[in-house]
Amino acid sequence: MYPGALVPRLADKAAAIMAESGVSISYGELDAYANRLGRMYQWLGLKTGEHVAYLVENRLDCLAIQWGAHYAGLYYTFVSTRLTSGEVAYIVGDCNAKVVVVSAQTAEPVLDALRALKNPPKIYSLDPVAGLPVLEDEISAFEDSPIKGTLEGSDMLYSSGTTGKPKGVKPQMTGLPLGSTSTIAMLLQKGFGVDENTVYLSPAPHYHAAPMKWGQAVTCIGGTVVVMEKFDAEGALAAIERYRVTHSQWVPTMFHRLLGLPKDVRNKYDLSSQKVAVHAAAPCPIETKQLMIDWWGPIVFEYYSCTEAIGMTFTDSAAWLSRPGTVGRPLLGVPHILDEAGNELPAGQDGLVYFADGVPFSYHNDDSKTAEAYNEKGWATVGDIGHLDEDGFLYLTDRKSNMIISGGVNVYPQETENLLITHPKVFDVAVIGTPHPDFGEEVRAVVQLEAGVAGDDALVEELIAFCKERLSSIKCPRKIDFRDTLPREPNGKLLKRLLIQEYREALAS
């Protein structure tokens, strides 16, 4: 399905609502906008499989411009608004976007860099910006009737660059008519009971995979997407109450922020409309998830997937409570655990997580990285480490790229982070390996403390002792540094490479 197919029944129904302002767009308005934009792209000469890019904050236009490119059979990339002008220009140049849409908030820092590209794109703005055409004015000249004969478009996301330059993840175009397929929509219906009565809260930036894909899927099905302008813990609870949210999606960092609210704040909102609260994107500390289930009841679901969509696992609260820490059994693809030599490992042993029979993909303009992702059997990996139990439930340990080698021993820092975040004085934490003359690397924790807590030598000793009481000493930090904030994406993803680079440069000097 797609919005146009739903218009005969749902023309006046809200397809999307902004959480704070309450401004909405109906299915009829969404379809009309997408048709006009798709027609404009065709008038500009864009052919099926060509590319457009969007650099915009969370706003009502996000779904409309997404569907406009999809209607026109194009690849579309939502670019992180947190990137530097050079990083934005790199992505736009790498995907060879013919059109870039910006906003008043994002335009000024990037215009010069975009115009300096070898093949500069046409640039439009969602708001009045000096020297740029306003997109709404431009598309007003085109009809809003259905576009005939177009094929399905596709997102093309870029990895967040946690280990280097972002990589474009390019799915294969289906070559099918508009509205033929929506794998995510089918998964939402099958796994989470999404239907036309669904009110889906999207608290994360739209440029991330889950908000973009799931928001679009909900509008394939006929539900309503409530988009938060930006995540705020109490604001999220208020949105659930105000819009009678039935489904929502979170990352573990958001759970931690929600649990950090005073009890009187947590208890003053009516959350009874909730049916499904999904979390993903990063391993969730067992204690954190247990507390969320205690608070919200057994409506907490989890899935594991990735931008590359090589596979997907799923677990409900009941299965997780019987197997704490699992990310579930497969909904898409077949998981396998392999050692460094490519041999399949038995249940209970950690190794690289591969999926067979997932969605084919390639890294745009990078054949070598594409080849590295696949083995000789055609199974794909993104470098996550984990294991399967005897019943086929998957457990994640960490990412291979995060591994610390200290004194010849492999240390995966996720376990240490999951423990430290439960300390009452810790607000956020990153555990990394930093250079050491004898061990090669040593385990170091970089900690953001709760408001009003002072970091001193006594607290360092307290936190190290806290770890040593619960973990093997090799996994415990030898050093702890305190700082005001950690480099996280708004979706909660920790950008460890920035910390690692900072420490290596500082220690080298």
Q: What is the pLDDT of residues 40-53, one digit of tens each?
A: 999 999 999 999 99
N- to C-terminal Cα separation, the chain: 58
Q: What pLDDT shows up at residue 102?
A: 98
**Beta strand pairing status for 312-315 and 326-332?**
antiparallel
Percent of the chain at pLDDT exceeding 70: 99
- pLDDT band of 164, cuts 50, 70, 90: low
CB–CB of 308/373 below 8 Å? yes
Query: Would you tell me how many other CB atoms lie within 10 Å of the CB of residue 479?
Result: 13
How big is the CA angle at 102 (ends 97 and 107), to the nearest 5 degrees? 115
Residues 242, 66: Cα–Cα separation, whole Å: 26
- pLDDT band of 411, cuts 50, 70, 90: confident
Tell me: pLDDT of 96 over 90: yes
Q: What pLDDT shows up at residue 51?
A: 97
Percent of the chain at pLDDT exceeding 90: 73
Higher pLDDT, 164 or 185: 185
| Six-digit token string for 281 | 């994107």
Amino acid present at 285: P
Tell me: pLDDT of 203 over 60: yes
Q: What pLDDT shows up at residue 123?
A: 98
Exposed, middle or buried: residue 5 (CB in 10 Å: 0-12, 13-18, 19+)?
A: middle
Global pTM value = 0.85
Tell me: pLDDT of 163 over 70: no
Could you give the angle at which helices 233-243 and 252-259 cross, rounded to 10 degrees? 90
Q: What pLDDT shows up at residue 281?
A: 77
Q: What pLDDT shows up at residue 369?
A: 87
What SS3 state is found at 326? strand
Q: What pLDDT shows up at residue 69?
A: 98
Query: Would you tell me how many other CB atoms lie within 10 Å of the CB of residue 357?
Result: 13
Q: What pLDDT shows up at residue 145?
A: 95
Block residue for tokens 């004194």: 407
Please give the helix or strand (H or E) that residue 102 lies within, else none. strand 99-102
Length of the chain: 509
Residues 112, 238: Cα–Cα separation, whole Å: 40
Average pLDDT value over all residues in the chain: 92
Residues 410, 404: Cα–Cα separation, whole Å: 6
Higher pLDDT, 144 or 251: 144
pLDDT digit string (tens) for 445-500?
Answer: 999 999 999 999 999 999 999 999 998 888 999 999 999 999 887 767 788 888 98
Tell me: pLDDT of 31 over 70: yes
- pLDDT band of 161, cuts 50, 70, 90: low
Residues with Cβ within 8 Å of 257's Cβ and at least 6 positions away in sequence, in order, are: 231, 233
pLDDT digit string (tens) for 232-252?
Answer: 999 999 999 999 999 999 988
- In the chain the domains, ranked by start, together with CATH numbers, are 3-219 (3.40.50.980), 332-401 (2.30.38.10), 403-508 (3.30.300.30)
Exposed, middle or buried: residue 343 (CB in 10 Å: 0-12, 13-18, 19+)?
A: exposed
List 41's β-bridge partners, or say none.
none
DSSP-H helix ranges across 374-442: 414-420
User: Once rounded to an integer, what is the mean pLDDT over residues 428-444?
Assistant: 88
Q: What CA–CA distances, in Å, run from 27 to 5, 56, 239, 324?
A: 10, 21, 21, 41
Query: Which range (161-165, 199-203, 234-238, 306-310) has the least confidence?
Result: 161-165
* Number of alpha carbons in the 13 Å side-chain half-sphere of residue 419: 19
SS3 content of the chain, % helix, strand, coil (to 5): 35, 25, 40
Q: What pLDDT shows up at residue 50?
A: 97
Q: What pLDDT shows up at residue 160?
A: 61
Rg of the chain (C-alpha set): 23
List 492's β-bridge partners, or say none.
none
Q: What pLDDT shows up at residue 142?
A: 98
Q: What pLDDT shows up at residue 226?
A: 98
User: Once rounded to an integer, what is the mean pLDDT over residues 117-136?
Assistant: 97
DSSP-H helix ranges across 193-285: 209-221, 233-243, 252-259, 263-267
Exposed, middle or buried: residue 313 (CB in 10 Å: 0-12, 13-18, 19+)?
A: buried
For 183-194, the DSSP string reads HHHHHHHHHH--
Q: What pLDDT shows up at residue 436?
A: 84
- pLDDT band of 24, cuts 50, 70, 90: very high
Q: What pLDDT shows up at residue 474?
A: 87
What SS3 state is found at 38? helix
CB–CB of 56/32 below 8 Å? no
